[in-house]
Structure formats: C-alpha cells, structure tokens
Structure 1
Amino acid sequence: MPPRINDDERLRRLEAVTDATLSRLDASDLLDELLDRVRDLLGVDTAAILLLDEHARQLVATAAKGLEEEVRAGFRIAVGRGFAGRIAAMRRPVRIADVTAGDVVNPILLEKGIRSLLGVPVMAGRDLVGVLHVGTLTRRDFGDDDVKLLQMVADRAAVAGRIRSAKLDQSAALALQRSLLPARLPRVPGVELAARYVPGHATGVGGDWYDVFSLPTGWLGVVIGDVSGHGLASAVVMGRVRSALRAYALICEDPGEALTLLNRKVHTFEAGSLTTALYAMISPDRDRVLISSAGHLRPVLVEPGRPAVFAGVPVDPPLGVARPPRPRCSTELPLSPGAVLLCYTDGLVERRAEVIDHGLERLLTSVRADAADVVCANVMADVAAEMPTDDIAVLAVRRTP
C-alpha cells in the first residue's frame, strides 16, 4: 500500500511545483529543476522527460535525473512503442508495479534495474508535448496522489517544452536566414549597394529577403521579396524561392519571364504561402533597368536634383497564382548617373491603425539621390518604426555618379 499523504505534505508538494522562482529559469534549467524536485517529492530513483518530435512522431529524451545516459545517447522512441510510447499514444497515465522486458523498449531502463514505473503525458491544451516518467529500483505501487503530483509537474513542464521548441525553431530560422541573406553585398562596377534587415517579431525571423547577383551576360540581378508568416517554415520557403529565382535568372533574359517560371514553381510546390517578389535587372552599362513586380510594392526611383517618385511599374499578382489574368510585365526605366533605386518590404511603411498611404508618403520625402548607405540610414531613421511589428528589408542601388 502506498503511504498516506497528509495535508501538510500535500501543501509542500504543491508549493514545490508552483514555486514562482521556477518561472525565472530558462527552459532547459526549468526541466532539470522540475526533475530534481519530483525525485525528492515522490522518493523515486529516476525521472525523465521525453519531448515529441512532431515531424518524426517520435519521443526524444530531453532531460533526465538518474537516467542521464538516455539523454546522452539521444534516445528516441516512436509514439505507441514501449512504456513512454504507450503513454503518448493513449494520452493518459500508466503505472507498472513490476517492470518486465515486454513493458519497455529502452535497454537503459533494464540495465539500470528499474523495478516500477509511473508516467504521464505532457499536454498543452489538446496537443501532446511529450511524456514525463519516474521509476524506482525497488517495487512500488504508485498511488493516485503520486499520479496527481506527477501530472502537475507535467503541466509545468509543458510550458518549458513549448518554449524550448520555439527557441529551437527560432535558432534554426535565424541560422537559415543568415545563410541566405548576403553577409556582405558584392562590389559591382558602376553601382553602389547597401541594405538593411530588421526582424519585427519576438517569435523569430520572418520571410523578408533580398539578393544581388551578377549574371554571365553582365547584367546585375537585384531582388527583394516577402514570404508571409514567420519562423522556420517561412524561412524555408524563402530559401526555396531565392534558390529557384537564381536558377531562372540564368536562363531568362527578362525579369517578367523569370517571375512567370517562379510563379509556377511556388503554385506547385509552395501552395498556400503568400509570396511577393520584385526582380530588377540592371544593364551592363548601368544606364537602364528592367523591373517586374509579383505583388510587391513599387520601388522608389530618385534622380539628382529631382524629387523621389515611385517607379512606373505595373504590379502583377503575387507568386503562387494558378493562372495569372495576363502575362507578367517587365518595364524598362532609365537609370541616370547618380540615380538611386530603393527597394523595400511592406514592414517599412505599414503601421497598425494607419493606412499605408501615409507610410508611402513618408518614404518619398525621405529618399534623396545620395550614397546608397546614406539612403538606407535615412530611410530607417525617418520611416521605420522604432518597434516594428513586421520585418523590414531595404535595398538601395545607386548608379555611380
């Protein structure tokens, strides 16, 4: 029979799990601290948390006390298999008083000599986050109070698990984006280049991107785009779109033609993602530019001694449309010495509770025919919000005076 729990002990257990100081720990430290406390409160020998890898449908050993080998070995188990897999599949507690080889899949549990096990699912609402289990080296019949306490710990661990997963996604998205955005813009004869990128979400990197590349024909490719959403999924789509456009740029002498092929690719393989892009090709002698827009805001064009204007470029439908109503357009514009072409994403000019026209007006008054880096600096200072709610990408190209 399990020992009887009095009111004082229940209160001690509750305080140990709901302690406000736990909220000050980061996700990994919180999981470790919870396992330490649950081992002490339940008087068990081992405690472990396995978090769900949703793509693989596997539980991954993430934190453990008394079973550290499980984490070091990177133990994984499919949902439905073994002790932890059963808990994940059924989404309810499981108690085993006498563990046998048929009850577990992980050989570490058997090698450790685990005699009794208790496990509960780690849930966030209706979503499975993982499994929390404890074990003893001597036989034990876990009681209802033990189950309730372990479930309380699991509820606290669910928050840490979600935070940890979000941080991993954010880190992966940031690493992916850094590999895709030019670390340093190329030095190209006849033009000056400058760019800025500011993430606008605490949850991670978004889908704004830019690119500059020289083509074998001597033309210079300049691209800016925006994939809807944020985090790793948007960063992955962004990478695919960027790579595809580079490939199409090698076989197309017209930006509208390249965006037509890119539209077909996005519609076929990236269905459901709203993507805009602006592709400009600057001639080898730098005196003209061909531009095509797929749902993207028109760039700003400013010549020395003249006010800035939005380039007279038709805006075609975004990428991913099944059958555009008409062929995508390419517009040729002159690029005089000292002229600046400024490309940007909507995060620069959009504000909540304000029509976008106000932001566009601010942008026009801010752009001057100056050095590319000065143009970017002025635009970010005068137009960009101090605390943007969306990503901002800015790319300035100036023909050398």
Structure 2
Amino acid sequence: MGLPILLCALSMGTQAILGLLVLARAPGQRVNQLFALLLLLFFWWSLGELLLITLPFNHFLPKLLFTPILLLPYLFARFTAIFPQRWTEAPILRPGLPGLLLLVPTLVLLGLLWTDRLVEVCEPIDNGLLLALGRFEFLAKGIVVGYLLLALHALSTVWNQVDSEFQMRRLRYTFAALALPGTAGPVFIALGRWYISGYTAYTFGLFPTLGIVMSCILAYAILRYQLMEIDLIFSIGLVYTLLTALLAGFLELMENGLQNVLNLSSTWSTILSTLAIAAVFSPLKDLIVSLVDRFFGKRSFDAAAVLRHLLQAMRKAGSAGEVLDTLVRETGLVVDPDSAVVLLRSGAVARAGGSPDPLPSLPGQWLPMDEIEAVIEAGGEHPGFDREAFRRWREAGFRLAFPLRRGETVEGALFLGAKRGRVPYTSQEKTLVASACDEVCPILDNLALLATMVARDRASQEIDWARQLYQRIQADQRVTRIGGYEVILFSSLAREIKGDLIDLQDRPGDRFLALHDAFHSGILAALTLHLLYSALRCAPPADRMARAHAVLAPFTDPPLRSAVTYLQLDEATVTLVNAGNPPPLRFDPAGGWQEAAGQGRPLGLEGPDLARAEVRLPPGSFLFCATNGLAKAFGDREGKGLRRFLDDLRATGNMPACHQALQNALAALPDRAGFPDDITYLFLRAAAPAAPPPA
C-alpha cells in the first residue's frame, strides 16, 4: 500500500500548491476562485482516498470520498461558462431561480449519498473498494451526463469565439488536464483488479496518478500559455532551481578535481572554485533562461514581420486613443511586460497590466537610453537633468522608457514594466519596441490630417445642402407682378451664404414680400432664413413680424438674428414693417425721395422694435427697399452714398430707369465678382389699370 499512499500525497501536494498560487495571483477574480475550488475538490478526492488507505474502514469514509466526485460535474460546467471568456448566455450563469435550479440535482445526489440511498454496497478489498449503486444508479448517471453535456455545450461555444492560436492552445491544455480525472471511470472499470457483474471496483492510486498528470499539464500550460497569469513564480523557480543545481554540481566537481588531481588544499580549492563560479554564473544563467524560454514557447521572432503587423494594426485605428491602445496591446503580446503605459503630453493615456493611478508626469528631458536605471545613472553627468521624473516612473514599477518623437520634440512615451517571467528584455525586443514608437507620431499626424480632410469635406457637403435649401426658398427674380403691383426684384449673392433672401408669397387675399438679411453666414444664416420663411407663413398677417421675433429670440448661443423688411400688399395700401434694414424709401414725383418708415431693430434682439407705416402708391410713386449690402457697395454702411446716388436719379422719376441706373453703377464697381456681401433690393409700384376692351 506504500505506492498508493505516495501517489495520494504527491497528488494532494501539487493540487494544493497550484490552487493556492492561482488564488493568490488574483483573489478577487471569479475565474481564479472557481479554478482554485476545482483544484481543492481534486485535493479532497485524493485526501479521501488517503484516509481510506490509512484508517480502518467505516461507512463515513466512502461518503467523504464521493462528495467531491459529485460536486465536480456542476463546478466544471460552471467553470467552462466563464473561462477563458465569460459566456453571458450560459444557462448555469442565469441570475435568480433559473440558475439555482441547475444546482438542485447536485444537492439531490449529495442527499442520496449521505442518507445511504445512492451506494448500496461498499466493501473494502485489496487495494480498493467494491461498489454497487442502488435503484438511483441511472438517476445519478443521468445527472452527471447532463452536467457534462452542459459543459461541452459551453466549451463548443467558447471554442468558436477564440480568436488566436495562443488562446486555443491554452484552452486545449486546460480542459485536457481538468477532464483527465473525469475520464478515469471507464479506465478503472477496465483495469480494475476485481470486476463482478453488478459491481464496480474502485482501485486505489489510479485517481491520484491522474491528478498528478493533471497538475503537470496545468503547470506546463501555466508556464507556456500564461494560464491564470501565474507563470512568473514558475519561471523564476525553474530558472534558479536549475541554476542552483548546476552550480552546486560544478562546485563539487571543481573542489574534488582540484584536491584529488592537483593535490591542492581545501582552502585553495574553495577559492578557485568560487572564482570559477563567479565567471560562469552570468553566462550559465543566460543559457538556462534561453533554454527555458525556448522550451516554453518564448522563442526568437521575425522582428520585421512583427513590426509590420504592429504598424498595420495601428494604421487601422480610427482615433488617437485606438492607436495608443493598439500599441500597448500588440507590444504586450510580443515582449510580455507585466505593465505597459503610453502617455502623451496632450493627456491621452493607454495602459495594460497593473499600472498605478495616477501616473507620474511625463519627463521633460530625455537621454538616448531606454533603460530607466541607465537614464537615472547617466543623468548625474548632465547638469540640470531632471532625474526625479525617471525615479518616479521606476518607483511605479517601470523598467524601460521609449520616447515618442515628432522631430526633436518628445510628444509622449511608452513605459514598460519588468517581463512577467522576470527574464531580461532582449536587444531584439527593445529594438522592435523603439521602432514601433518611432512610427506613432507619424500615424497620429496622418490621422489628424485625415480628420481635417473629412471635417472639411463634411463642412463642404453641409454647405452644399444648405445652399440647395437656400435656393429653394429664394424668390424667382423673374417675377414682375404680384396682384395689383409691379415689382422689380434683384439679388446678387456672394460666393458663400451671407444671409440675404427675397421672400415672396402671391396668394389671393394674402400677398406679401419680405427682404431678409440674416446675421452670420453659412449654415447659421441658412437656418435663420428657414425659420423666418416658416414663421411668416404660420402666423396671421398682423402678427407675422412679432411671431418671427419670438421664434428667433430664444436662440442665443449661437444667436440667430436677422434684419427684415416686410411688405403686406393689400389692394389700396402697402403695410410696411421694417426691422433693422436701411429705411425704405418712397419716391414721389412732387417731393422726390422720402423715408417711408424708420429703421427699427433686427428680429431676435431684445424686445421687438418694429418701424411700421401704411403707404399708398398713387401713379408715379414707388417704393425702394434694400439690405445694407447695397449701401456697402456705395461706400458706407450708413447709406449716405446710396442716398446721394438716388437723389441724382430724381429727374428720371421712373422705376425701371432707377433700376437700370443701379445696375450700371454696380457693374462699374471694381472686383464686382469678389464683392464680399450680398446685394439685394426691390422696387414696388401700383400697376396701371388695365385698358378697357375695344368697343
């Protein structure tokens, strides 16, 4: 019975060590907790078998043995639903009663076990137990199979979501190890020393052996595929255990050889052996690290291919934050630091691993070195160099610093902590990271340029849409008659939307003209004009200007304002309302040009201040209304130059002649095509009565 006891002890030891390491690595992580609990159940299984071997048989010990066996299927099914990534739709993870119902079969089996209804016969035999299940045999097997099918369903779902060969292999090794003891049922039935019809022989030592194999597979997965992220302890232990063993053997051989072959005294043998060990320590350590890294998958790589892949991934990013996240993520996959942070002067940050928060500030001065310790040491030889900035990063747990340069200016830096395996960074890895960092600023510049181009194209597209909508509400300048009035409409628009608009409605019983000059330009001007266009049509004639003011007044950031001249065209009179445009002028053959109404205040500014007038237009009289763009064309905003020009036209006394004179004057302006503002005006007079039909 000595071998089964030894196997049980070895199995318990390896499982306890693995479970404690996993739990200590991240006690708050649900995955680590459940993984450690699984290993604890395997430990319990081996412990129960050890007690059966070493203690006198009683009926309590088999129950102690079978309890972890009955708990394992449920916990294994739950573990498969959260590792390596959580499957949120897993039935076993559902909150509330649906999730608890899946625990009930396990509780039923435990109740049957501890009330002596599950195992009908349990008798000790040489090196094992003879078992027979009672009438609940098929119920128990069905429950266990159900849990295994649930676990397989979760495994197949997770397997389809694995996105890398690294994750796939880690998943394969993990579940191969955990499923190994579960496959032992058929094995011990086939290989058991006793097999009687209706009975099953449980052989001592078989399950502990499978547990040891499971632990070895898990340890390999921990080292090679960073299972549960605890490969640090194993790699350090493995490297220094091998190093210590080799140095001890080397010391013994050296001393024996020097004493026996060269007949040196023990003192000289010890001195020479110590010097030899000091000489071979570093090369031997590097050799062991290289062998361990090579055996556990940390082999040299094609730096050009890796750099090409990294740059391609960064160039696919759509923002500066995504570029930094990609740099940290891809760098971590290649060089395997325990923490990584990239920090820009703009404040943008991307991090991975256990980096502190808040981070130290970015150093203002740099030396051509990537080892932070080397920078701190060399900084003492440069007067005025700020070594404290690098000391703070070293105290935060970082070992390497790679600046992100734009020309001679350092825009940020990538900081890396020690490698997870505590082996040093190779020169190949440092060169790769430095090359990737050299490309970050050009990639960010390209992104900024693309963003500017996209924004410019978007703004151009929006202006085009606004211009199309603007043109749709602009009155047709070819219109010459509205009801009983003749009109001349003119609007010369600048290259960009400046805000002038002639609004016309020719509806029997409700005819009006409106001359708008919106503040601002572009989309804001187009928006203001559309609001006014709608407001004038949604209010009764007497309230239109007040309603338009009420629509614009709430918009203060940005402010939407407009000067408006409104003409309500009735049969006998013209109701004139002016809000901010130059005062409308009325030409009378006897008195010349006179102001028909005041200027008022633009709509949307403070309270409404509207200049109103009722104007009659006898034969020979006409109205002239314009925006301030026409006044600017004649040299001043106040309109004095325009008024002098109109006074000179008094002798013509003819509306078409005045319009033609204005056109000639505008055509003579220098750089007329490049005039920076809209020029808009209108003439209005009563139409001559129609001639009676011939007799």
Contact 1:224–1:345 (CA under 8 A) maintained in structure 2:
yes
The reply on whether 1:313 has 2:597 as its aligned counterpart is yes
The offset of 1:277, in angstroms, is 0.8
One-letter amino acid of the counterpart of residue 570, structure 2: S
Aligned residue number for residue 227 of structure 1: 518
Deviations 1:302-358 (A, max 9, x none): 245763x2423123222114434x7x4421122122433222111111269845343
Pairing partner for 1:261 from 535, 547, 558 = 547
SS at match of 2:519: strand
Higher share of residues assigned helix: 2
One-letter amino acid of the counterpart of residue 275, structure 1: S
Deviations 1:252-284 (A, max 9, x none): 3x4xx4312222222135772221111112221
In 1, Cα distance between the equivalents of 2:324 and 2:677? 40
The reply on whether 1:193 has 2:487 as its aligned counterpart is yes
Aligned residue number for residue 577 of structure 2: 292
Pairing partner for 1:207 from 499, 503, 509 = 499
One-letter amino acid of the counterpart of residue 457, structure 2: R
TM-score (norm 2): 0.35
Indicate the percent of aligned positions where both proteins have the same amino acid: 20
In 1, Cα distance between the equivalents of 2:642 and 2:323? 52
One-letter amino acid of the counterpart of residue 230, structure 1: S
In 2, Cα distance between the equivalents of 1:93 and 1:305? 81
In 2, Cα distance between the equivalents of 1:89 and 1:362? 63
Contact 1:300–1:311 (CA under 8 A) maintained in structure 2:
yes
One-letter amino acid of the counterpart of residue 266, structure 1: L
Contact 1:366–1:379 (CA under 8 A) maintained in structure 2:
no
Contact 2:499–2:521 (CA under 8 A) maintained in structure 1:
yes
The offset of 1:181, in angstroms, is 0.5
Pairing partner for 1:334 from 603, 616, 619 = 616
Distance 1:90 1:355, change over 3 A: same
Aligned residue number for residue 301 of structure 1: 586
The offset of 1:362, in angstroms, is 4.6
In 2, Cα distance between the equivalents of 1:393 and 1:329? 20
SS at match of 1:341: strand
Aligned residue number for residue 382 of structure 1: 665
Contact 2:561–2:605 (CA under 8 A) maintained in structure 1:
no
Distance 1:391 1:93, change over 3 A: farther
The reply on whether 1:347 has 2:632 as its aligned counterpart is no
Distance 1:283 1:382, change over 3 A: same
Higher share of residues assigned strand: 1
One-letter amino acid of the counterpart of residue 646, structure 2: L
The offset of 1:187, in angstroms, is 3.9
* Structure 2: gaps of 5 or more residues: 1-301, 334-431, 689-695
Distance 1:216 1:143, change over 3 A: same
In 2, Cα distance between the equivalents of 1:2 and 1:305? 95
SS at match of 1:268: coil
The offset of 1:188, in angstroms, is 2.6
Compare 331-340 and 170-179 and name the one that shifted more: 331-340
Contact 1:298–1:310 (CA under 8 A) maintained in structure 2:
no
In 2, Cα distance between the equivalents of 1:237 and 1:92? 42
Distance 1:296 1:89, change over 3 A: farther
Distance 1:173 1:273, change over 3 A: same
In 2, Cα distance between the equivalents of 1:215 and 1:150? 60
Aligned residue number for residue 170 of structure 2: none
In 2, Cα distance between the equivalents of 1:245 and 1:167? 29
In 2, Cα distance between the equivalents of 1:359 and 1:236? 32
Pairing partner for 2:470 from 177, 181, 184 = 177
Aligned residue number for residue 49 of structure 2: none
In 1, Cα distance between the equivalents of 2:501 and 2:519? 11
Distance 1:294 1:371, change over 3 A: closer
The reply on whether 1:168 has 2:461 as its aligned counterpart is yes
The offset of 1:237, in angstroms, is 1.3
In 2, Cα distance between the equivalents of 1:362 and 1:90? 65
In 1, Cα distance between the equivalents of 2:444 and 2:322? 15
SS at match of 2:446: helix
The offset of 1:156, in angstroms, is 3.8
Contact 1:337–1:399 (CA under 8 A) maintained in structure 2:
yes
Contact 1:208–1:393 (CA under 8 A) maintained in structure 2:
yes
In 2, Cα distance between the equivalents of 1:88 and 1:233? 31
In 2, Cα distance between the equivalents of 1:396 and 1:47? 61
In 2, Cα distance between the equivalents of 1:363 and 1:345? 16
**Larger Cα Rg: Structure 1 or Structure 2?**
2
SS at match of 2:577: strand
Give the paired residue count. 277
In 2, Cα distance between the equivalents of 1:299 and 1:216? 25
Distance 1:281 1:162, change over 3 A: same
